[in-house]
A and B are shown apart, each in its own frame.
Chain A
Amino acid sequence: MNSRSIQVAVISGALILFGLCLILYKTLILNYPFTPEARAEIWTVETRLSLTGTGQEVSAEFATPSAPAGFALVDEDAIAPGFGTSATDDETGRRMRVEQRSLEGTEQVFVLSRFYKVDSAQDSVRETGSEEPESVALALESLGEASDAGREAIESVVQTAREQSVDALGTAREIARIYTSESAVTDAVAGMDFDRLELSEPARRLAFTLNVAGIEARRATGIPLETNRRNAPIMAWTEVATNDRGWVALDPATGEPWDDLPLARLGVSDTDLIDVSGAMTDDWVYATKRSYTAEIDRALWNGDRQAPIFTRLSPLILSVEAQLVFQVLLLLPIGALAVAFIRQVIGIKTFGTFMPVLIALAFRETQLVLGVSLFLAIVLLGLLLRSYFNTLHLTLVPRLTAVLSIVTLIMLVIAVAGAANDVRLGLSLSLFPIVILTMTIESMSLIYDEYGPREAFVRASGSLFTAIVAYLVISIPSLQHIVFVFPEFLLIVIGLAIVLGRYNGFTLHEFVRFRMIGKQS
């Protein structure tokens, strides 16, 4: 290997490797989708409040949903005309406060919260202190005031559950099992009556019992993200604190983690979910709606948080119009690589170097069969008229101008004829490279005059074949997607082009052409 070959190997290797690394980083870490069909789940929760006032100062504070485990809140928009709004977020949950100096009549307030599904790894892990949790202390204090029967019942439950389990989740499962199977115990516990604490509710009973067992747990309320609902039920469940997963939602009936049901929490313990003063609350509902967005939207949003540089450099931030342009432009190098391969390794002759790529781009708009027929029709008509111009002895550039005008007119006629028959060709035709076609017609007739029909046919079919191959390559849907979402794919293309440029082996065509050498009779 000489130094040039080493340089080529190093440069192309580095380019290909760098491109691959970027693509892997974006797919594996930032979750850029590799296929265009990838869809991300997105939930929208609409909090709707209808307030009727009598001209007094009104203020309302109500809970808005927090992101369930495995989801992230993308945005929260309040639509409250005439109201001042402020959002708060603390340990007990998210709240929205709306205020108006004087409200007359009925007004509606909307809050739209959108949640993307994310990897659970991104959830913040809760830090657990070594001290005795506040909820446990409160529970033990309450228990001291309870009746003996109730206390004994609950202590026996805790004792049994502890013996049967090793961790918090196991204990919770065991407690729930006892409450379901032994109704006498359940009744005794439910009979305990503390201030505001009705232990007949399973979620609260399970949380309280866990607290008595010294495990940090709480009752939570919220809405399930299950189906599209115009009025989602507010339900209660139990949450237990774990070291590795933070707060885990439990089904109060079974004590099992509710992993498969996303629960958007509204509040914890017994905080009020809504507090209105100065107006009547006519309506207060939470609506849930599931929709899907292109995975790439989620990846961009996600990437913006983790590695903003990639999002800023992505063509996806361009205007839609510019994106459409680049969706086509970014395919050019791919098609050119296909042409380079065909010339370098297969050895097929074409008219002009990149004419086939541009024709292939045009085929992309018209589809293959229509595109090939259009191409043949335009070139044949152009050739006929060009040969007539030749008898007029026109000089080169004016003749090219005339042929160009004719090609344009042919396209117009075809488009108009198509429209009359309800075939829309307008937009697809516009991408047909008129200038390239003109030059093709010119060089083809030149080859025809100079080298005869044989050579002209060989080159024309070579060009068409190359264009079709280039078209087939650039119309692979995942390739279109990949090069747009991962523009660094072009680094790989450059690397491959450099390697191709140093390919010094025989072309397939040469194997046929030179096959008789040394084999003569």
Chain B
Amino acid sequence: MIGASATARRPLTHLGRMGVLGMNRRNIELIAEYNPRKLLPHVDDKILTKELVAGQGIKVAEVLAIIEHHGDFKAFKRIAEEAGELVIKPARGSQGGGIFVASGGGPAGLRKPSGRLSGWDEIRFHVANILAGMYSLGGGGDRVLVEERLEPHSSFDSISFSGVPDLRMIVFRGVPVMAMLRLPTAESDGAANLHKGGVGAGITMETGTTNHAVQWDRSITQHPDFLTELTGFKVPDWEEALLLSARLGDVVDIGYLGVDLVVDEKRGPVLLELNARPGMAIQIANSSGLHAPLAIIEAMDSIPEDPAARVRLALDIERQTRLR
């Protein structure tokens, strides 16, 4: 129970008045309440997530290989040499840990987007570390997921430094609640993660344009590397991205869900991963609290079954709750 809307009772603190959702409240009133424990492994494991959404018409990055044992490395090496462009990630990794991106390959090893060559020895070591569970939630062993490398839409070129920018949506009971664009910077070394120094830009869902941006939890107006404006950027294929996240509400029975998407140059919005414990930084990126829209959706007796209707509902709620 997230409780009554922030306006029902005048909160004492500035954060309360802004309807900001705190970590403790998220854990107690949303995650414990709406995210059944037994479904969490499906969300935490990227391979299981792919199996879960398979056949539901949701676009995902193509799987090139799955490494379960050290012995699988040889087969992987053959595939990798041929494919060249690929991403290696721990299936149960968190917050972007342990992800290796290759832009080309050959007999000597794989080349990173920065141009540096990683020898097969180094890659074997990295794979072994993933298998040992070095990057996994809760320890224990893990599997290695090898995927096609998605190509970010060209319109991102002016605001994204190397790496792959992604979209983060918060979806509550199948209704998109808030969205942000995560942009890699030189400081984040091509990663779109905010805690590595990436830029987070809040998105007005109605228009699909960015409205505010932060780096290291502080407001900024220009991209630190390109000095381009960060507000007013129109996300390509926005309507499709919004609909895709709304549809995920039907596919996964996780009430409070974080959806990460990449807008691919050729394929459009592609599901990257799901998150059952999405962070709170999206509120800083949007300079807006989550409490008010969540409270409205929680108070509703029934949620429309049609994803498109849920998108319309989302835009409606946004108009009601946005301070601007």
In the complex, chain B residues 9-32 whose Cβ is within 8 Å of any chain A Cβ:
13-18, 20, 22-25, 28-29
Query: Of the candidates B125, B195, B283, which one forms a contact with A455 in the assembled complex, judged by CB atoms under 8 Å apart?
Result: B195
A344 and B24 contact, Cβ closer than 8 Å, known pairs A511-B15, A517-B289: yes
Does B218 touch A at the CB level, under 8 Å? yes
Q: In the complex, what distance in Å separates the CA atom of A515 from the CA atom of B25?
A: 17
**Residues of chain B with a CB closer than 8 A to A138's CB:** none
Considering the complex, give the chain B residue whose CB is closest to the CB of A500.
B24
- Let me know if B22 and A396 touch, CB within 8 A: no
Q: Mark A391-435, 1 if CB is under 8 A from B, else 0.
A: 001011100000000000000000000000000000000000000
**Residues of chain A with a CB closer than 8 A to B25's CB:** 504-506
Q: In the complex, what distance in Å separates the CA atom of A514 from the CA atom of B17?
A: 12
Query: Of the candidates B97, B121, B212, which one forms a contact with A450 in the assembled complex, judged by CB atoms under 8 Å apart?
Result: B97
A513 and B287 contact, Cβ closer than 8 Å, known pairs A450-B97, A504-B22: no
In the complex, chain A residues 256-281 whose Cβ is within 8 Å of any chain B Cβ:
none
- Let me know if B132 and A397 touch, CB within 8 A: yes
- Let me know if B1 and A2 touch, CB within 8 A: yes
In the complex, chain B residues 98-153 whose Cβ is within 8 Å of any chain A Cβ:
98, 121-122, 124-125, 128-129, 132-135
Q: In the complex, what distance in Å separates the CA atom of A478 from the CA atom of B49?
A: 53
**Residues of chain A with a CB closer than 8 A to B196's CB:** 450-452, 455
**Residues of chain A with a CB closer than 8 A to B16's CB:** 506
Q: How far is the CB of A349 from chain B (nearest CB, A)?
A: 10
Q: How far is the CB of A288 from chain B (nearest CB, A)?
A: 63
Does A184 touch B at the CB level, under 8 Å? no
- Let me know if B23 and A507 touch, CB within 8 A: yes
Q: How far is the CB of B70 from chain A (nearest CB, A)?
A: 9
Does B215 touch A at the CB level, under 8 Å? no
Q: Mark B257-296, 1 if CB is under 8 A from A, else 0.
A: 0000000000000000000000010011001110000000
Q: In the complex, what distance in Å separates the CA atom of A446 from the CA atom of B133?
A: 12
Does A502 touch B at the CB level, under 8 Å? yes
Considering the complex, give the chain B residue whose CB is closest to the CB of A442.
B134
- Let me know if B23 and A450 touch, CB within 8 A: no
**Residues of chain B with a CB closer than 8 A to A124's CB:** none
**Residues of chain A with a CB closer than 8 A to B284's CB:** 513-514, 516-517
**Residues of chain A with a CB closer than 8 A to B300's CB:** none
Q: How far is the CB of A436 from chain B (nearest CB, A)?
A: 14
**Residues of chain A with a CB closer than 8 A to B132's CB:** 395-397
A516 and B219 contact, Cβ closer than 8 Å, known pairs A397-B132, A505-B22, A510-B20: yes
Interface residue tally for chain B (C-beta within 8 Å): 41
- Let me know if A517 and B283 touch, CB within 8 A: yes
Does A503 touch B at the CB level, under 8 Å? yes
Does A518 touch B at the CB level, under 8 Å? yes
Query: Of the candidates A347, A514, A520, which one forms a contact with B20 in the assembled complex, judged by CB atoms under 8 Å apart?
Result: A514
Query: Of the candidates B1, B14, B121, which one forms a contact with A393 in the assembled complex, judged by CB atoms under 8 Å apart?
Result: B121
Q: How far is the CB of A57 from chain B (nearest CB, A)?
A: 82
Query: Of the candidates A2, A506, A518, A520, which one forms a contact with B22 in the assembled complex, judged by CB atoms under 8 Å apart?
Result: A506
Q: In the complex, what distance in Å separates the CA atom of A396 from the CA atom of B125?
A: 10
Q: In the complex, what distance in Å separates the CA atom of A2 from the CA atom of B1?
A: 9
A504 and B24 contact, Cβ closer than 8 Å, known pairs A395-B129, A450-B97, A516-B218: yes
Considering the complex, give the chain A residue whose CB is closest to the CB of B122.
A393
Q: How far is the CB of B120 from chain A (nearest CB, A)?
A: 11
Query: Of the candidates B17, B29, B128, B129, which one forms a contact with A504 in the assembled complex, judged by CB atoms under 8 Å apart?
Result: B29
- Let me know if A450 and B15 touch, CB within 8 A: no
**Residues of chain B with a CB closer than 8 A to A505's CB:** 22, 24-25
A396 and B122 contact, Cβ closer than 8 Å, known pairs A452-B197, A516-B219: no
Query: Of the candidates B24, B129, B195, B212, which one forms a contact with A451 in the assembled complex, judged by CB atoms under 8 Å apart?
Result: B195
Q: In the complex, what distance in Å separates the CA atom of A200 from the CA atom of B23?
A: 89
Q: Mark A485-521, 1 if CB is under 8 A from B, else 0.
A: 0000000000000000111111100110111111110
Considering the complex, give the chain B residue whose CB is closest to the CB of A520.
B287
**Residues of chain B with a CB closer than 8 A to A507's CB:** 22-24
**Residues of chain B with a CB closer than 8 A to A455's CB:** 195-196
Q: How far is the CB of A34 from chain B (nearest CB, A)?
A: 34
In the complex, chain A residues 361-398 whose Cβ is within 8 Å of any chain B Cβ:
393, 395-397
Q: In the complex, what distance in Å separates the CA atom of A507 from the CA atom of B13?
A: 12
- Let me know if B14 and A515 touch, CB within 8 A: yes
Does B217 touch A at the CB level, under 8 Å? yes
Query: Of the candidates A344, A395, A452, A518, which one forms a contact with B288 in the assembled complex, judged by CB atoms under 8 Å apart?
Result: A518
Query: Of the candidates A347, A397, A517, which one forms a contact with B18 in the assembled complex, judged by CB atoms under 8 Å apart?
Result: A517
Considering the complex, give the chain B residue whose CB is closest to the CB of A454.
B197
Q: In the complex, what distance in Å separates the CA atom of A505 from the CA atom of B121?
A: 49
Q: How far is the CB of A270 from chain B (nearest CB, A)?
A: 81
Interface core residue of A397, A451, A455, A504 (most chain B CB under 10 Å): A504
Does B323 touch A at the CB level, under 8 Å? yes
- Let me know if A506 and B28 touch, CB within 8 A: no
- Let me know if B219 and A520 touch, CB within 8 A: yes
Considering the complex, give the chain A residue whose CB is closest to the CB of B212.
A520
- Let me know if A450 and B98 touch, CB within 8 A: yes
A395 and B128 contact, Cβ closer than 8 Å, known pairs A514-B284, A517-B289: yes
In the complex, chain A residues 336-376 whose Cβ is within 8 Å of any chain B Cβ:
344, 347
User: A510-B23, A517-B284, A518-B18 given. 12 additional CB < 8 A pairs?
Assistant: A344-B24, A393-B125, A504-B28, A506-B15, A506-B24, A510-B280, A511-B13, A513-B217, A514-B18, A516-B284, A517-B287, A518-B323
19 contacts between A and B (CB under 8 A): A347-B23, A393-B125, A396-B129, A396-B133, A396-B134, A446-B97, A450-B97, A452-B197, A504-B28, A506-B13, A506-B15, A506-B22, A510-B280, A513-B217, A514-B15, A514-B18, A514-B283, A517-B20, A518-B17
Which residues of A are at the interface with B, using a C-beta cutoff of 8 A? 2, 344, 347, 393, 395-397, 446, 450-452, 455, 501-507, 510-511, 513-520
